[in-house]
Amino acid sequence: MQTRKIVFVVMVILLIGLLAACGSTAPAEPATQEPVAEEPAAEEPVVEEPSEPVTIEFFYPVAVDAPIAAIIEGYIDTFEAENPHITVEAVFSGGYGDVQTAIMTAIDGGAEPPAMGVMLATALYDLINADAISPVSPSDEYLADVFPAFLDNSRYDGKIWSVPFQRSAVVMYYNADLFEEAGIEPPDSWDSWAAAAQALTVRDGAEVTRWGIEYPSGWPYWLFQPLAIGSGQNIVGESDTEVFFDDPDVIEAVQFYIDLSEEYGAMAAGVQGIWGQAPTDLATGLTAMIVHSTGSLTGLLDQVDFELGVMPIPGQTAGTFASVPGGGNIYIMKGAPEEKQAAAWLFAEFLTEAERVADFSIQTGYIASLNSSYKTDAMKAYLAEVPQAEDTKNALQYAGAELMVQNLGEVRNIFHDYLQRAYNGEMTPEEAMAAAQTEAEAALEIFK
């Protein structure tokens, strides 16, 4: 087997400038997310399965604390053994945005893009508008097996444009031992959540030695969305040009985030650029709770020496919860030669088989995207040992739609800017969200 080069595309990113690294209607009803068959499968593949030797590049993000590169390389070894005429060269990057930037830089420069890549599921409209991706043709059986919360990001104009693979959701992780010692039940409302965070905050004079909660907001829209959903209004509508940034319920959600520090003294004030640090802070006792990705589950379990609790985000009203899906899908790049696209689709089908999806979930903490993966012997044994993995899947039943609109990069940056201004006290929540709505509608106008 030839040695593959693991290439980090940092140099590409430095050449083209800074880009944000990752990222994601009314809230979903809290009913079990059973897969349903919707819409016919997309058009048939344009090319036959390759029979001549072919080499494809697979661009892949490595953005969480899990041994992703080694896992993917292991899958490639197995695939190549089964398909000796196909060589897969993995190109690993720091995040979803890095992968998309590298691919689009190649396309814009007239170079041949990689045959396939994992990018944000919500990048769909931008990639279609750039004519960068080809529709794919999963079977009806596969489509019926995928959890609807994940498949929603794959459909547009009657076609399927990507398949879920590295998918996640927003959850709250908490130190269950601290809760038990303090006689506190896991929160089920904003009031009980804030009270628990306040009670679990520890100070030594003016110095905080343990926060009640850490809530990363350096890349804020995704982790904010469950607050908006739990308040009564998601920030995105049903159409691809509809946002609700200035809705009173969204403004109330912004205020609740601020109140966790200003009113309850249970969280550091302002924007918290601590995405990578938060899991370690929870594991080492610097905070009692964090809001984070389900993709961090395995890394956390490896670090903690206490009972790790996992749950969806408490809603404003008692007994309600919220979450939002996230993560990446596999895309096939239109600019690659047809024989490479065909080989890439064959590899995509290999990666999304039930047993492999289950294995990837077990090794990383990402949520398996297929219902059948949870019926495999390996997953059943894992859930018996790690019940938290069942909790991450169950969060999907409370999930609203992730922010996905036309001109996503522009709209998302607008929302980020004004949300962080509100968090930092530079504008009131009402002022910030009104400005965000006005500018977002202007950015979307051309697509209406």
| pLDDT winner (highest mean) among 90-94, 330-334, 363-367 | 330-334
Q: DSSP character for 84?
A: T
Structure tokens at 193: 């959540």
What's the angle, vertex CA 173, arms to CA 171 and CA 176, rounded to 5?
A: 140
Whether the CB-CB separation of 178 and 288 falls below 8 Å is answered with: yes
Look at strands 207-210 and 321-322 and give their pairing: unpaired
User: Amino acid identity of 234?
Assistant: N
- Per-domain boundaries in the chain: 10-168+326-393, 170-324+404-447
In this predicted model, what pLDDT tens digit does every residue of 400-447 receive, in sequence order?
999 999 999 999 999 999 999 999 999 999 999 999 999 999 999 999
- Mean pLDDT, residues 32-44 taken together: 40
Q: Quick check: 362 pLDDT over 90?
A: yes
Distances (CA, A) of 386 to 169, 250, 365, 383, 391: 17, 35, 10, 5, 10
Query: What confidence tier does 94 reach under pLDDT thresholds 50, 70, 90?
Result: confident
At 62 the pLDDT is: 81
3-state DSSP assignment of residue 88? strand
Domain 10-168+326-393 identical in fold to domain 170-324+404-447: yes
In this predicted model, what pLDDT tens digit does every residue of 66-92 receive, in sequence order?
578 899 999 999 999 999 999 999 999
Query: Is residue 171 exposed (0-12), middle (13-18) or buried (19+ Cβ within 10 Å)?
Result: buried
State the DSSP H helix or E strand holding residue 289, giving kind and residue range, or none if neither. Answer: strand 289-293
Class of domain 10-168+326-393 as given by CATH: alpha beta
Q: Quick check: 289 pLDDT over 60?
A: yes
In this predicted model, what pLDDT tens digit does every residue of 14-28 receive, in sequence order?
333 333 333 333 333
The residue to which tokens 């039930």 are assigned:
354
Q: Quick check: 52 pLDDT over 70?
A: yes
At 179 the pLDDT is: 98
Whether the CB-CB separation of 136 and 142 falls below 8 Å is answered with: no
In this predicted model, what pLDDT tens digit does every residue of 217-274 receive, in sequence order?
998 999 999 999 999 999 999 999 999 999 999 999 999 999 999 999 999 999 999 9
The CATH topology of domain 170-324+404-447 is D-Maltodextrin-Binding Protein; domain 2 (3.40.190)
- Mean pLDDT, residues 106-117 taken together: 94
3-state DSSP assignment of residue 287? strand
- Mean pLDDT, residues 355-370 taken together: 94
* Residue with more model confidence, 316 or 28: 316
